Structure 1
C-alpha cells in the first residue's frame, strides 16, 4: 500500500477507512500514543496503537527516533490539538533504534548541542521548520527571476580571479603538499599544477556573471561561495550560498528597484507557503526572548518583522546624509555606539545600520553613494570622484542584507582603479574585454542566502540556517 504524507492526512477533509503513513517517532506515551512525523509538516499525527494486541517486544522498540510504518483508519481525533488521528491496525518497525543512545530526546536541547549533532538536528521541530523555509525560499528565488525572464547561469566554483580583492580565498591545488615544485625564483611552480596556474574556490560569481549579462541582458547566479576569513562569529560561514543578479542597461536606481521588489517577493512567498513553520518559529523566538534582559529583547515579533519589510517602502538615503544623521544622533553623542561616528568616510557597522532602520526611519533603508575607498574596485565612480554608485539594503535586527552597485563600465576608469589597488590586469584580461567590446551601463547585487534565511526564520546564528555549517576548525559531517 502506498503511504500518504502526514501533511496530506492532517489536511484531509474526510475520514478514510485505510491509510498508511511512514515516519519517525517523536514521542511514544502510555504504550499507546505515537506522535509521528515524516518531515512534510511541522505537525505530528497521532497514531493510536492497540497495545493489548501488539507484542511486547514490538512495543519496546517504539522509541523516540525509530522509523515506523503504520496502517489503519484515519478517524476524527478524540483528543484536543489535532483534527485526525490514525487508529493503528498494523505497525511495523522499519529499522534498528537504540533508544538509550539516540541524542535527540523529546526535550529542549541547546543550539550548541544540536550543532554538534548536525546530522540528526533536522529531526527536531525547529530545524525541520528552518529547512522547509530554506527550501521554499530557494524555490522563490528561482520563481522570481524565471518569471521576470532572467537566465540562470552557473558560474565557476574554481576560479583564478578574486572578485572582492580581499585575498581571503581557499586555494585549490593538485600539487603534492609534501614536495611542492619550485621555479627558478624558489616560488611554487603553479605551471605544474592541474590548471597550470594558481586557482581558488570562488568568493563570488559576479565577474563571470557580468560577462553573461553583456550578452543575455539579465542573468542571475545562485550557488556556493567560499571565504577563508578566520571569523568565528554568529554572522560568518566559510561556505555559503549567494544570489547574484546582473542586468545590462540598469543604472543604480534600477538596481535598487530590482533588489527591493525581489526581496519583498521572496519573503511574501515564504510567508504564504510556510505559515505553520513560521508560527512555530515565532513562538520559539518569543520563548527565548523571555529569558533575555529587557534591553536585549527584540522590539518586533518574527511575523511583525517580516510584515514590516513588506508593508514599508524602503527609504533611500545617501551615505553622506546617513553619516550626518548618525553623527547627530543621541547614541553617538552620548557615546553609546561601540564605534563612534566622527567624520565622513567611516565604514558603517551593524549598530549604525540598525539605528537607521529601527530608530530613525522606522522602515527598511537603502544607503547609496558610498566612499570609493571602502568599496570594491568594480563599482562605478561618481562624478564627484570620491563616491561610487554602490547601495546596501538594511533590515531590522540584522543590518545589511543586500549589497550591490552600478558596475564601472568605462575601460580607462576601471583599469586605473585596478592599478591603484594592485590588481593584475593580465589576470582579468577577459573581464576588461567586456569594457572594450560593446560596453554598456549595467548593475547587480549580491544577497547571501543564509543571511536571508536567518532573517526570515528569526534565528540569531547563521550556523543554524545551513544544513552542515563550515566554520574555522570545523568541517565535520
Structure 2
C-alpha cells in the first residue's frame, strides 16, 4: 500500500479511509499514542496503537527516533489541537532503533549541542522548520529571476581570480605537500600544478557573471562561495551560498529598485508558503526572549518583522548623510558604540547599521555612494573622485544583508584603479575585455543566502541556517 505524507493526511477531506503513514516517532506515551512526523510539515499526526493486541516486544521498540510504518483508519480526533488521527491496525518498525543512545530526545537541547549533532538536528521541530523555509526561499530565488527573464549562469567554483581583493581564499592544488616543486627563488612553482597556475575556491561569481550579462542582458548566479577568513563569529561561515544578479544597462538606481523588489518578493513567498513553520519559529523565539534582559529583546515578533519589510519602502540615504547622523547620535556622543564615528571615511560596523535601521529611520535602509577606499576596485567612481556608486541594504536585527554597485564600465578608469591597488592586469585581461569590446553601464549585487535565511527564520547564529556549517576548526559530517 502506498504511503501518504503526513502533511496531506492532516488536510484530508475524507475520513474513515484506510491509510498508510511512514515517519519517525517524536514521542510515544501511555504505550498507546505515537506522535509521528515525516518531515513534510512541522505538525505531527497522532497514531493510536491498539496496545492490548500489540506484542510487548514491539511496544518496547517504539521509541523516540524510531522509523515506523502504520496502516489504519483516518478518523476525526477526539483530542485537542488536532483534526485527525490514525487508528492503527498494523504497525511495523522499520530498521533498528536504540532509544538509550538517540541524542534527540523530546526535551530542550542547546543550539551548541545540536550543532555537534548536525546530522540528526534536522529531526527536531526547530531545524525541520528552518530547513523547509530554506528550501522554499531557494525556490523563490529561482522563481523570481526566471519570471523576470533572467538567465541562470553557473559560474566556476575553482578560479584564478580574487573578486574582492581580500586574499582570504582557500587554495586548490594537486601539488604534494612533501617535496613541493619550487622556483629558483624558492616560491611554489604553480606551473607544475594541475591548472598550471595558482587557483582558489571562489569568493564570488560576480566577475564571471558580468561577462555573461554583457551578452545575455540579465543573468543571476546562485551557488556556493568560500572565505578563508579566520572569524569564529555568529555571522561568518567558511562555505556559504551567494545570489548574484548582473544586469546590462542598469545604473545604481535600477540596482536598488531590483534588490528591494527581489527581497520583498522572496520574503512574501516564504510568508505565503511557510505559515506553520514561521509561526512555530516565532513562538520558539518568543519563549527565548523571556529569558533575556529587556534591553536585549527584539522590538518585533518574527512575523511582524517580516511584514515590516514588506510594508515599508526602503529608505535611501547617502553614506555622507549616514555619517552625519551617526556622528551626532546619542550613542556616539556618549561613547556607547564600540566603534566611535569621528570622521567621514569610517567603515560602518553592524552596530552603526542597526542603529540607522532600528532607531533612526525605523525601516530598511539602502546606503549608497561610499568612500572609494573602503570598497572594491570594480565599483564605478563618482565625479567627485572620492566616492563610488556602491550600495548596501541594511535590515533590522542583522545589519547589512545586500552589497552591490554600478560597475566601472570605463576602461581607462578601471585600469587606473587596478594600478593603484596593484591588481595584475594580465590576470584579469579577460575581465578587461568586457570594457574593451562593447562596454556599457551595468550593475549588480550580492546577497548571502544564509543571511537571508537568518533574517526570515529569526535565528541569531548563521551556523543554524545551513545544513552542515563549515567554520574555523570545524568540517564535520
Superposition map of 1:183-202 within 5 A:
183-202=183-202
Which segments of structure 1 move beyond 3 Å, counting only runs of 4 or more?
none
Cα distance in 2 between the residues matched to 1:185 and 1:329: 54
TM-score by length of 1: 1.00
Q: Any idea what SS the aligned residue of 2:433 has?
A: helix
How far does residue 14 in structure 1 lie from its aligned partner after superposition?
2.4
Q: Does 1:8 align with 2:5?
A: no
Structure 1 position 186, deviation (Å): 1.7
Superposed CA offset, 1:288-342 (max 9, x none): 0000011111111100110110000000000000001111111111111111111
**C-alpha displacement of 1:422:** 1.0
Equivalences for residues 270-281 of structure 1 within 5 A: 270-281=270-281
Deviation readout 1:336-386 (Å, 9 max, x if unpaired): 111111110011111111111111111100000000000000000000000
Does residue 135 of the first structure (1) align with residue 135 of the second (2)?
yes
Q: Which residue of 2 aligns with 1:49?
A: 49
Task: Tell me if 1:119 matches 2:116.
Answer: no
Q: Distance in 2 between matches of 1:351 and 1:386?
A: 25
Partner of 2:372: 372
Residue 452 (1) aligns with residue 452 (2): yes
Q: How does 1:62-461 map to 2 (within 5 A)?
A: 62-461=62-461
**What is the SS of the residue equivalent to 2:384?**
coil
* Alpha-carbon distance in structure 1 between the residues aligned to 2:335 and 2:83: 56
SS where residue 28 of structure 1 aligns?
A: strand
Residue deviations 1:220-261 (CA, integer Å, cap 9, x gap): 000000000000000000000000000000000000000000
Deviation per CA, 1:159-182: give whole Å up to 9, x if none: 000000000000000011111011
CA distance in 1, matches of 2:143, 2:121: 29
CA positional deviation for 1:4:
0.3
Secondary structure of 1:432's counterpart equals helix
Q: Which runs of 5+ in 1 are unaligned?
A: none
* Paired residue secondary structure (2:376): coil
| In 2: Cα distance, 1:459 partner to 1:338 partner | 23
In 2: Cα distance, 1:355 partner to 1:135 partner: 31
Output the CA distance in 1 between the equivalents of 2:109 and 2:17.
Answer: 38
What is the root-mean-square deviation in Å for CA atoms of aligned residues? 0.5
Q: Secondary structure at the match of 1:452?
A: helix
TM-score (norm 2): 1.00
